[in-house]
Amino acid sequence: MRVLHVIPDVNGGGASKGAYRIHQAVTAEGIQSELLVLRNPSNEPNTYAALVGLGGWLKRKRYKSKERHIKKQMDDLITDNPALHSYGLTSVELLPLINRSDADIIHLHWIIHMLTIEEIAQITKPIVWTFADMWPICGGEHYVLDDSPSARFRVGYLSNNQPAYERGADYNRFAWERKRQQWGNKFFHIAACSHWLAQCAKASPIFTQSHIEAINYPLDTNLFRPYSRQSSRDKFQLPHDKKIILAGATGGVNSLYKGGDLLRDAVNALAHDKKNDIVVALFGASDDRSSNCTLPVYPIGPIEEETTLAQLYSSADIFVMPSRQEAFGQVASEAQSCGIPVVAFNHGGAMDIVDHQKTGWLATPFDPKNLAYGINYLIDQKINGVDFAAPARERAIKLFSSEQIGKKYCALYEKCLSRHA
pLDDT at residue 32, as a whole number: 98
Q: Are residues 409 and 381 in the same domain?
A: no
Residue 224 lies in a domain: no
Q: Are residues 395 and 409 in the same domain?
A: no
Residue 280 lies in a domain: yes
Residue 81 lies in a domain: yes
Q: Are residues 410 and 306 in the same domain?
A: no
Residue 152 lies in a domain: yes
Of 12, 218, 187, 217, residue with least CA distance to 114: 12
In a structure prediction context, what are the per-residue pLDDT tens digits for the chain, which is 421 residues long? 999 999 988 877 889 999 999 999 999 999 999 999 987 766 788 999 888 888 888 998 998 998 888 888 888 889 999 999 999 999 999 999 999 999 999 999 999 989 999 999 999 999 999 999 999 999 999 999 999 999 999 999 999 999 999 999 999 999 999 999 999 999 999 999 999 999 999 999 999 999 999 999 999 999 999 999 999 999 999 999 999 999 999 888 988 999 999 999 999 999 887 778 999 999 998 666 555 788 999 999 999 899 999 999 999 999 999 999 999 999 999 999 999 999 999 999 999 999 999 999 999 999 999 999 999 999 999 989 999 999 999 999 999 999 999 999 999 999 999 998 7
Q: Are residues 160 and 170 in the same domain?
A: yes
Q: Are residues 277 and 190 in the same domain?
A: no
Range of the domain at 55: 2-218+402-419
Q: Are residues 261 and 353 in the same domain?
A: yes
Residues 342, 333: Cα–Cα separation, whole Å: 9
Q: How many CA atoms lie within 13 A of 194 on its CB side?
A: 22
Which residues, 6+ apart, have CB-to-CB distance to 68 below 8 Å?
none
| Cα 286–Cα 324–Cα 146 angle in degrees, nearest 5 | 135
Q: Are residues 171 and 99 in the same domain?
A: yes
Residues 279, 273: Cα–Cα separation, whole Å: 14
Q: Are residues 407 and 389 in the same domain?
A: no
Helix axes 260-272, 368-383, angle to 10 degrees: 60
Residue 140 lies in a domain: yes
Q: Are residues 171 and 23 in the same domain?
A: yes
Output Rg (C-alpha) for the chain, integer angstroms. Answer: 22
CB 342 within 8 A of CB 321: yes
Number of other residues whose CB lies within 10 A of the CB of residue 87: 20
Q: Are residues 287 and 335 in the same domain?
A: yes
Question: Which CATH number goes with the domain that contains 255?
Answer: 3.40.50.2000
Q: Are residues 55 and 202 in the same domain?
A: yes
Residue 185 lies in a domain: yes
Q: Are residues 136 and 11 in the same domain?
A: yes
Residues 392, 377: Cα–Cα separation, whole Å: 16
Residue 330 lies in a domain: yes
Of 276, 261, 277, 273, residue with least CA distance to 368: 261
pLDDT at residue 44, as a whole number: 81
pLDDT at residue 75, as a whole number: 81
Residue 154 lies in a domain: yes
CB 371 within 8 A of CB 350: no
Instruction: State the sign of the Cα–Cα–Cα–Cα dihedral 242, 243, 244, 245.
Output: negative
Residues 72, 113: Cα–Cα separation, whole Å: 17
Q: How many domains does the chain have?
A: 2
CB 267 within 8 A of CB 247: no
Bridging pattern class, strands 127-131 and 166-168: unpaired
